[in-house]
Amino acid sequence: MVNIPQEAMLTLLLLAALVQIGLSQRLMGSLLKNHVPQENTWKTIFVKQKVDHFAFDRASQERLFSQKILINLDHWKPGGALFFYTGNEGAIELFAQNTGFIFDIAPAFDAAVVFAEHRYYGVSMPFGSLNESFSDWTKSRYLTVEQAMADFAENIVWLRETYFKSNDYFTRVITFGGSYGGMLAAWMRAKYPGLVQGAIAASAPVWMFPGMSQDTAAPYRLITEVFRDAQSDCPAKISKSWDMITKMGGTKTGRNQLSKLFRTCKQLDSDGVVALSNWLNGMYFDMAMVNYPYPTSFLADLPAWPVKEFCKRTNVSDDVITAIAAGAQMYSNYTGQLRCLDLDSDPAGDLGMTGWDFQACLEMILPISSNRSTDMFPDEQFDLESYVAYCEERWNSTARPFWLKYYFGGGDGYDFSGFSNIFFSNGRLDPWAVGGTALILDEDICLSDCPNVLIEDGAHHLDLRSSNPADPESVLMARKLEVEAIKRWTSPPATKVEL
């Protein structure tokens, strides 16, 4: 059995967190700061999808499954836009509840709002249940980016031609997505330009695949900077804690102390100490991702600016482990409703960890390393060869680590010169920004009309969330630019001249 690097295993968990999409805001102006969004509602329908869109034998064409779609027509008028959220790794309701931006701007565009669930997540299981759909490789093999995008393309065609009974080309389609969903939104415009007129791709690490970015330690450096900005000595405390936890975990007395300090549900054994370290690693990553300027409950119930609050709570003691445990309680039990820290529970809730494990192993490989000399995390070098070996053994399948680079990104990993009408946004506080377009803001990244915005005070796709009085000016400006781009893309096309 190949030992997968601890950090690489963490990648599988953390990208699943790439999903807090949801953002909202009415149109421009100072009213955005005072806008209180209403609770959004939708109609749930199920549509039939082919399990395999790319086989032409009769048996494959007749093998179908039910895909969940959420539809809101409160503001739709014939000829209006279709705002289509490309679901990512989780139950689709999670994204609809956290993507208020789409609902807020729908009235200005007479837009229908649709959230489509990604195959193999939520209840959209090609073979009935989660366990059955991943029971062997002959069933799990249909979980690919290409198949999911084909689902979305079929959704758009069905919506325009059947559901809305309006197939005129004035009905413009804009895809939206955050994180993995942001990648899908951008790729839908790139691969299906006849169906999709524009895309809002928020916090989408489209240039983070093997062969694209050589700086695999950049996400952890950025996290360290975010914690240092919150409190100058905070990263030093975290850095010191790793060896101290390992040393305490080497004795029964030390393990008992760790169990008490972190209030774990089970008395820690040696494996439990490793699980605690992994949990803390993931906590820091997730906390940076959802470092929003107001309280949220996407990954956990958290206060405004949770990184700052964590660091503040570490000041309760000069003892490093006591300090870290105090901060960790803020993340694990901010409301005080939980009796203990359950290290065996799924921290991602409605996010689909099984499906993402499969995707991040075989196609959506996102290399991340840590370097103790430049960040606050233990040294862990991502090794693609051992990672692929582990994944292929785990899933009895063949990984394609470089495929997405060639399929979407061009030979050098970031050649989008043939693409157009994609709005890329990244938050400066978001560790995934280093895998997106944030690093080349001064370059033309596509053929035409691809705005590329870095949100100074933004974490993971803050711009897609509902507007809030605490929103910083940088996200208000990003949303304004996004609305302006959508206006360009939804304008009626020029009259055709018959020759």
List residues with catalytic annotation. Answer: 179, 430, 460
Closest C-alpha among 427, 7, 439 to residue 217: 7
Distance CA(209)–CA(361), nearest Å, equals 12
Q: What secondary structure does DSSP assign to 2-26, as a single string?
A: ----HHHHHHHHHHHTTT---BB--
Q: Is 35 within 8 Å of 479 (Cβ atoms)?
A: no
Q: Which amino acid is at 120?
A: Y
**Residues sharing a CB contact under 8 Å with residue 21, sequence separation 6 or more, in sequence order:** 85, 88, 95, 98, 99, 176, 177, 178, 179, 181, 182, 202, 461, 464
Closest C-alpha among 184, 181, 212 to residue 402: 212
Q: Is 233 within 8 Å of 315 (Cβ atoms)?
A: no
How many Å from the N-terminal Cα to the C-terminal Cα in the chain? 67
Helix ranges (H only) for 214-266 are: 218-230, 234-248, 252-262
Q: What are the angstrom distances between the C-alpha of 381 and each of 9, 145, 439?
A: 12, 27, 22
Helix ranges (H only) for 17-161 are: 31-34, 58-62, 92-97, 100-105, 130-133, 137-140, 145-158
Closest C-alpha among 493, 443, 487, 458 to residue 200: 487
Q: Which residue has the tokens 């900005």?
A: 229
